[in-house]
Chain A
Amino acid sequence: MLKKMFTPLTISLICAVVLLNSTAQIFLKAAALSGMKHGGGFMAVLLNVWYLASLCTLGLAFLCWQKALKYLPLSFAHPFCSLTYLFIPLLSWAIFGEEVSVRYFVGVACICIGIFLTASGAVKGHG
C-alpha cells in the first residue's frame, strides 16, 4: 500500500508543495522588507512585486496540492506539510540572516511532530 503511494509523481508533487509554500513565505518577508523601504503602509506591501510573487507561488502550491490529493489520502499527505517548518528557518537564515539556534530547531522538531500527529490523527471524513 505504501509502495503505491510513493510514486515519482507523488514524491515530486509533495516536494513541490513544500518548496513552493516555503518560498511563498520567504517572498512575504521580502515584501514586508521592501514595503518598509517604500513608505511602510499597507499599499506599499499590497502592490509590491514580492507580494505578487508570494501569491503566485501560493497559487502554484495549491494546484500541486490539489493534484497530489487525487492520488493520496489527506491524512497521509497533510503531515508532509510540516516539512515547510524545517525549510523556512533554513531559508530565512540564509537569505535574511535571521537567528536560528539549536534550541530553535528543537522547537521546530516538536512542531513538526505535532503537525504530523494532528494531521494524521485528525479527520477521517474526507481523508
Chain B
Amino acid sequence: MTPTLMDFMAMLGIALMGACAQLFLKKASGAETSFIRTILNIWTISGITLMLACTLWTASLLRSLPLTVVLPVTSLIYIFVPLGARLLFNEKVSKRFWVGGFCLIVGIIICSYQ
C-alpha cells in the first residue's frame, strides 16, 4: 500500500519525536550524579514520556500501513540524533556521518517507492 503525504509527515514526526526523546535522555544522563536522581530528572521523565508517545503513534500508523513501510522512514532518527547532539551538546559529526546520512536517505527512498 502506497503511503500518502500525510503518512510521510506522520512518520517524519515520529522520527523527530524519537530523536528528541533520545536527546532528552542524553541530557539527563549528563546532568545528575546519582542513579536515583537521574531517573527522577525532568529530562528523563520527558524522554520516557516522548518514547511512549512514539510507540503509540507508531502503533496507530501500523493500523493502516505495513511495518515494511513505516520502519525505513523512522530510521531517519539515526540522522536526527547526531545532528541534534551537534546543536545542543556541541558534539562533532564527521564526513563519514554525512556519507552515511546520504546512504540512509537513498535506502529510505528505495524502500518507500512503490
Q: Is the CB of A107 within 8 A of B103?
A: no
Cβ of B39 under 8 Å from chain A: no
Flag if B71 contacts A88 (CB, 8 Å): yes
- Prevailing SS type, chain B contact patch: helix
Contacts of A31 in B (CB 8 A): 59, 62
> B: which residues have CB within 8 A of A?
26, 52, 55-56, 58-63, 66-68, 71-72, 75, 78-79, 81-82, 85, 89, 91-97, 99-112
Q: Do the beta carbons of A117 and B97 come within 8 Å of each other?
A: yes
Query: Which residue of chain A has its CB nearest to the CB of B94?
Result: A121
Q: Is A111 an interface residue (CB 8 A)?
A: yes
Check if A121 sits within 8 Å of B72, measured CB to CB. Answer: no
Taking CB atoms and an 8 Å cut-off, the chain A residues in 89-127 that contact chain B are 89, 92-93, 96, 98-100, 103-104, 106-126
Q: Which of B85, B91, B108 contacts A111 (CB 8 A)?
A: B108
A28 & B58 in contact (Cβ 8 Å cutoff):
yes
Complex contact A51–B59 (CB within 8 A): yes
Interface set of A (CB-CB < 8 Å, partner B): 25-26, 28-29, 31-33, 35-36, 40, 42, 45-46, 51, 54-55, 58, 85, 88-89, 92-93, 96, 98-100, 103-104, 106-126
Output the least CB separation between A74 and chain B (Å).
11
Q: Are the C-beta atoms of B68 and A120 separated by less than 8 Å? A: no
Partner pick for A115 among B52, B75, B112, CB 8 A cutoff = B75
A118 to B106, CA, bound (A): 14
CB-defined contacts of A36 to chain B, threshold 8 Å: 63
15 A-B pairs (CB sep. < 8 Å): A29-B66, A32-B61, A85-B71, A96-B67, A104-B111, A107-B72, A107-B112, A108-B72, A108-B111, A111-B103, A114-B78, A114-B104, A118-B104, A124-B92, A125-B92
Alpha-carbon distance A103/B107, docked complex (angstroms): 10
The 10 closest A-B pairs by CB, nearest first: A117-B100, A121-B96, A114-B104, A110-B107, A107-B110, A111-B107, A114-B103, A107-B111, A32-B62, A118-B100
Q: Give the CA-CA distance A122 to B110 in the complex, in Å.
A: 24
**Would B68 and A99 count as touching, CB distance under 8 A?**
yes
A104 to B114 alpha-carbon distance, docked (Å):
10
> Which of A45, A92, A121 meets B67, CB within 8 Å?
A92
